[in-house]
Structure 1
Amino acid sequence: MASSEISDDIRRGLDEAATGIGVWDRGGRLIYANRLFRTLFLLDRQLREELSYRRFLDHVAGSHELILEGTIERWVEDRHAAFGQETSFEQPMADGRTLQVDDRALPQGGMTTTVSDVSNVRRIESALRKAKADAETSDQAKSRFLRAANHDLRQPLATLKILIFSCMGEEDLQHRGDLLHTMDISVSIMEDLLGALLQIGQLDAGRIAARITTFQLDSILDRLRIQFAHLAQEKGITLRIVGTRFAVVSDKALLERILSNIVANAVRYTDVGSVLVVCRARGAGVDIEVRDTGRGIESQHHAYIFDEFFQVPNTRRTKRPGLGLGLNIVKRVADILEHPIRLRSEPGRGSVFTVSVSIGDVWQSELAEPEISEAKGGEFAGLSVMLVEDDPELRRATHELLERWGMRVLAVASIAEALGSLGTQTLPRLVIADYSLNQELGTDAVHRLREATGSAIPAFIMTAEIDPAVVARIKAEGFSVLIKPVSPPRLRVLMHNLIFEPPAPTSAPTVDTP
C-alpha cells in the first residue's frame, strides 16, 4: 500500500506515534515513513522519492550519526543481506542516544522497520545495576564490619567474665588488685570500640556536619599534649608537640578528632624513639605532620590503611592492639572537611601522616574557649549532689563513685522523687540528670527543681543519645552534656568546672563525648 493510499487520519495518527515506522516493499523500496522515522534518519522529501533500502543504509551510515562496529561498508553489506528477515538490535548514536531497531517481514514480501529511543530506559537500567552493585558491596562491607566488631567486642567481654569469676573467689588482695586492673583494661577496650562504632554509625548516617570557623591551631595542640603525654611517658618514648601561631579554617572538634586518632596510632605503634607533631606552611595552607619512629608500614598496605578494621600484619603485637577503626574515622572525617591526608612510611623507619588545612585570618579567629582539662581536680568532700537516674544499676554505680569522692549523694529515679526530697535534704550544690527518664526528661527535672527552690542550681545532663538534634536541643536549654558511657575523669572535671568555676552567662554550654 503506497503512502498516497493511506487516509489522512491514519497518516496523522502514525505521525504522532512515539515510534519511528518505515515500510519497505518486496523490492526494497520505501513506501511509507512516519514523521519520527523521517526525523531520526534525516530523510527529506527529495531523498524519500524512490528510496531503496540499500541507498537508505548508505545514507544513514555516511551521516556519521551512528556508532558502527567495523567499517561502514561491512555494516551496510550485513544489514542489506538481512533485508526481509526478523532482526532486532540496539544501535548506539553519536549523540549518546540508544535506538532499538526491529525489522519484521511482511506476508506479501518486504518488511517494516520500527525504531524506538530507549536511551532513558538503558540509563535507568544502568543506574539500577550500579545501585545494586553498590548495595551488594555495601552489604558485604557491613557484614565484614559486623563480624569484626562482634569479634573485637566478644574478646574483652569473654576476658571480663573470666576475670569477674576469678575475682569473686580471690582472697589475695594483691592478686585481686591485678585482676581488677586487667578488668579495667578490658572495659576500656570495649569503651574504645563502642565509641568508635558510634562515630562510624554517625558517619554512615550522615549525622556529622562540619561547623567551619577560624581558630588558633595551638588550642588543639595543647589538648593533644595533655591527652597523650602520660601515655608516651608510660611507654618510655618522647612526645614532642611543637606550638604554632597559625590560625586555620576548619571544624575545631572534627580536626581534633582527626589528629587525636593519628597521634594515638603513632604512640601505640612506636616502641622506641619519639612522636613529633609539627606544622609547616605550604602555599595558602598549613601541613600538620605527625611523625613517628615506629615500625613503619610496607608500601603494599598503604592503599588499605584507611579501611575499616584493617590492621597492618605484624608479628610484634602490642599489649593492647588497635581496633582498626581509628584511621578509617580519620579518612571519613577528613573527607567531610575536605582536608587531604598523605602518608609516607617505610618499614623500620617510621611513618609521617600529613593533614593539610587552609590558613585563616588570625584577626577572625575565635577567642580562647574555656577548655576542660583533666588536670583540674576539684575538692568535693562534704558537698551535696542530686543524681536523677532511672536505671537502677547505673544509679547505684554512680552513687558509689560520687560517695568515694566524698560527696553527700541523693539518688532518685524520677522528677516526683526529686521534688519530694527537697524538704528533707540540704539544697544540692549540683544536679546530675539523665536525659531520658521513662516518660520524663532530665532537662524538665532540673527546671522543676530550680523553680521549686528558686535557685539556679548548677546542673548538667548525661545521655546515651547521639542524635545531633537531641544534643543541640539539650544545649539550647543551657545545659552541658556528657555522652554515655561517661568516664570518671570527664565526670569529675565537668563537676569541678560547674561547682567551682561556673561559666559566664554568655558562655556556650559544652558537650563532651567519649
Structure 2
Amino acid sequence: MSIEWDDLKPGDGPAALERRLEKLIKINAVLMDRVERSMDQQGNAFSLFQTAIGLDAKVRSRTEELTWALRRLERSNEALVLAKDEAERANLSKTRFLAAASHDLLQPLNAARLTISVLSEMQESEDAQRLSGQIEQSLQTIEDLIKTLLDISKLDAGVVTPDLQTFPLDTVLSVLEASFGPQAAAKGLKFKVRRCGLLVRSDPLMLQRVLQNLVSNAVRYTKQGGVLVGVRTRDAECVVDVVDTGCGISEAERETMFEEFYRGAAAAEGNHTGLGLGLAIVQRTVAALGYPLEVKSALGKGSTFRLKLEHAGAAPSDSPALWAGSVDNTRGAVVLLIENDEVALDAMRQVLDRWSCQTLSARSLEELTPQLAKLEGPPDIILVDYHLDQGQTGLAALKSLRETVGPDVPAIVMTGDRGLDTVAEVMTAGCELMHKPIKPAELRALMAHLLGNSASKA
C-alpha cells in the first residue's frame, strides 16, 4: 500500500489534502500494527527459544543425576550380591563346621551316656541313683543343644530340602511312643499316642523332628496330667494334635515363643531345664515343609499344637508296627558289634552284657573277623558304627559281614552324622538307623523289634 504524491493536482484544496493525510495516517497505523505483530512474534519465538534452552539444560542435568544414581544403585546391588554370596558361603562353612564338630562332640557324649546308664543300674542307694539321674539330665541337655544348633544352622543355610514320600504315619508315632513313654512315666504323667493307620505325604525325618520337639516340650513343661498325640482326618488333610496339661502359654508370648532361646514366664518360674530352641526348630522346619501350625493355649491349663498334613489314604493292613516285641528278646542274643571309639566300644559292650547278650566286639572288621570262628551259627543282630577308621564305613563292613554270616541278619547303623545322604544310604542298605548319643532304652526296644521280626520269619 503506497501514496503517490504525484496524484496531487494543482488546485486541490485543503479538503483534498486532509483526505490524503487521513489516508496516510490509516496506512501508517496499519504498518505500525504489522510491525508490532512482527515484533511480538519474534519476541515470542525468542522467548520460546530461551525456554527450550533452559529446559534442555535441566533435562541434561536430571539425566546426569539419574545416570549417576543408576550407576550408584548398580554398585550397591553388586555389593549386596557379593555380601549375600559371602553370607551364604559363611553359612555353609558354619554348617559344615558344626556338622564336623558335633560328630566329634557326640562321640564322647555317646560313651558317657552308655556308661551312665550302666552305672545307674548298678546303684542301689537312692542318693546314687539321684546323682546318676542328674548326670544323665546334664548329658541330655548338652546333646539337645548340639543337635539343635546343628539343625538351626542347616535350616538357616537352606541346605535342608524336604524329601517327600508317602509312608505310614504310625511309623513316626511308634518312635514317639518308644522315645517319650519312659520319660513321661518317670514323671508320673499319662502319655497316650493314638495310632491312625493312615498314609501321609511328607518328609518322614523332618516330620519326626517336628513332633519330637513338640512332644519333648509337652513332657518337659507338664507337671501333672498327661500328654496326648492324636490323629484324625478332615477332608484331604490329616490333622495331628499334640496336647498337654502343662503350664500353658500366655497371649502376650504368642509372638515371641518361636524365637531362639526364648523361654516363657511360666516355664522359667517352674525352673525347667529347656533351652528355648525346640519351637525355633519347629517353626523353621514346618516352614520348609509348607505346613500350617496352629497353637491354642491357656495359661496354667495346657497347650495344643496342631499340624495339618497331606492325607494319602489308608496304610496297608500288613504294615509292620515299629518297636514291637518284648525286651526279653534281647536276652541271650548273639550280637556282633563294631565301634572304632575305644571308650564307646567298652561302654556299649557293658550295656549289652547287662542285657545278657552274647557279644563279639571289635574296633574294625579286621579285628572282628578272627572272632567269627567262635560262632556256632549266624548272629542274631549286628551293630555297627557308620564312621570307622582309615576312611572306612560301617556299611562296607556290614556288607562283608553279611557275605560271611548270612545276608538276612538284621543290622543297626549308629552315627552322629545327621545328613540326609547318610540316612538315605543306610535305608538303601536295608538297615535301621540310630543317631548318637544312643539311648539304651530306645536301642533295646529297636533290637527287640528286629529280633522279634527275625524270629517270626524263621
Picking from 377, 382, 387, the partner of 1:436 is 387
Report if aligned partners of 1:384, 1:426 keep a CA contact under 8 Å in 2: no
Distance 2:369 2:67 in 1: 76
Structure-to-structure mapping, 1:294-443, within 5 angstroms: 294-314=246-266, 317-318=269-270, 320-360=272-312, 362=313, 369-373=319-323, 376-427=326-377, 429=379, 430-439=381-390, 440-443=392-395
Distance 1:470 1:393 in 2: 24
After superposition, what is the alpha-carbon deviation per residue over 1:484-510, rounded to whole angstroms, capped at 9, x for unaligned? 2211122223333333423999xxxxx
Residue 468 of structure 1 aligns to which amino acid in structure 2?
L
Distance 2:421 2:443 in 1: 23
SS in structure 2 opposite 1:379? helix
Residue 326 of structure 2 aligns to which amino acid in structure 1?
K
Cα 1:124/1:499, change in 2 over 3 Å = farther
Report if aligned partners of 1:387, 1:409 keep a CA contact under 8 Å in 2: yes
Report if aligned partners of 2:202, 2:309 keep a CA contact under 8 Å in 1: yes
Shift of 1:203: 2.5
Shift of 1:335: 0.8
Distance 1:233 1:419 in 2: 42
Cα 1:465/1:503, change in 2 over 3 Å = farther
After superposition, what is the alpha-carbon deviation per residue over 1:54-101, rounded to whole angstroms, capped at 9, x for unaligned? 336658xxxxxxxxxxxxxxxx9xx49xx9xxxx7xx5xxxxxxx543
After superposition, what is the alpha-carbon deviation per residue over 1:347-398, rounded to whole angstroms, capped at 9, x for unaligned? 33433323233344x26x5666434327631333443322222211111111
After superposition, what is the alpha-carbon deviation per residue over 1:299-328, rounded to whole angstroms, capped at 9, x for unaligned? 332122112211113476445421211111
Distance 2:53 2:215 in 1: 71
Report if aligned partners of 1:277, 1:288 keep a CA contact under 8 Å in 2: yes
Structure-to-structure mapping, 1:24-423, within 5 angstroms: 52=49, 54-55=51-52, 79=58, 100-101=64-65, 116=67, 119=70, 122-123=73-74, 125-126=76-77, 128-129=79-80, 132=83, 173-215=125-167, 217=169, 220-221=172-173, 224=176, 227-239=179-191, 248-278=200-230, 284-314=236-266, 317-318=269-270, 320-360=272-312, 362=313, 369-373=319-323, 376-423=326-373
> In terms of mean alpha carbon deviation, does 305-314 or 234-243 score higher?
234-243
After superposition, what is the alpha-carbon deviation per residue over 1:152-177, rounded to whole angstroms, capped at 9, x for unaligned? x9xxx9xx9xxx9xx9xxx9944333
Cα 1:225/1:56, change in 2 over 3 Å = farther
| Structure 2, gaps ≥5 residues long | 1-46
| Structure 1, gaps ≥5 residues long | 1-49, 60-75, 92-98, 102-114, 506-514
Report if aligned partners of 2:174, 2:321 keep a CA contact under 8 Å in 1: no
Picking from 462, 466, 485, the partner of 2:418 is 466
After superposition, what is the alpha-carbon deviation per residue over 1:193-247, rounded to whole angstroms, capped at 9, x for unaligned? 3332343344244443323344555665565455545544544555555665765
Distance 1:409 1:415 in 2: 15
SS in structure 2 opposite 1:502? helix
Distance 1:437 1:377 in 2: 29
Larger of the two Rg values belongs to structure: 2
Shift of 1:185: 2.1
Shift of 1:120: 6.9
Distance 1:306 1:503 in 2: 46
Shift of 1:420: 2.4
Distance 1:52 1:366 in 2: 89
Distance 2:453 2:181 in 1: 25
After superposition, what is the alpha-carbon deviation per residue over 1:261-286, rounded to whole angstroms, capped at 9, x for unaligned? 22332332233445455556666535
User: In structure 2, what is the equivalent of residue 32 of structure 1?
Assistant: none
Cα 1:214/1:174, change in 2 over 3 Å = closer
Picking from 430, 437, 443, the partner of 1:491 is 443
Bigger relative contact order, structure 1 or 2 (CA pairs below 8 A, ≥6 apart): 2
Distance 2:206 2:224 in 1: 29
Cα 1:207/1:376, change in 2 over 3 Å = farther
Report if aligned partners of 1:385, 1:428 keep a CA contact under 8 Å in 2: no
Residue 450 of structure 2 aligns to which amino acid in structure 1?
L
Report if aligned partners of 1:341, 1:356 keep a CA contact under 8 Å in 2: yes
Report if aligned partners of 2:413, 2:433 keep a CA contact under 8 Å in 1: yes
Report if aligned partners of 1:207, 1:468 keep a CA contact under 8 Å in 2: no
Residue 52 of structure 2 aligns to which amino acid in structure 1?
R
Residue 252 of structure 2 aligns to which amino acid in structure 1?
Q
Residue 329 of structure 1 aligns to which amino acid in structure 2?
I
SS in structure 2 opposite 1:443? helix
SS in structure 2 opposite 1:354? strand
Cα 1:416/1:52, change in 2 over 3 Å = farther
SS in structure 2 opposite 1:334? helix
- Kindly report the root-mean-square deviation, in angstroms, between the aligned alpha carbons of the 2 structures: 4.3
TM-score scaled by structure 2?
Answer: 0.68
Structure 2 residue 423 is matched with structure 1 residue 477: no
Residue 54 of structure 1 aligns to which amino acid in structure 2?
T
Report which of the two has the higher share of strand.
1
Cα 1:351/1:194, change in 2 over 3 Å = same
Report which of the two has the higher share of helix.
2
> In terms of mean alpha carbon deviation, does 484-493 or 236-245 score higher?
236-245
Report if aligned partners of 2:325, 2:449 keep a CA contact under 8 Å in 1: no
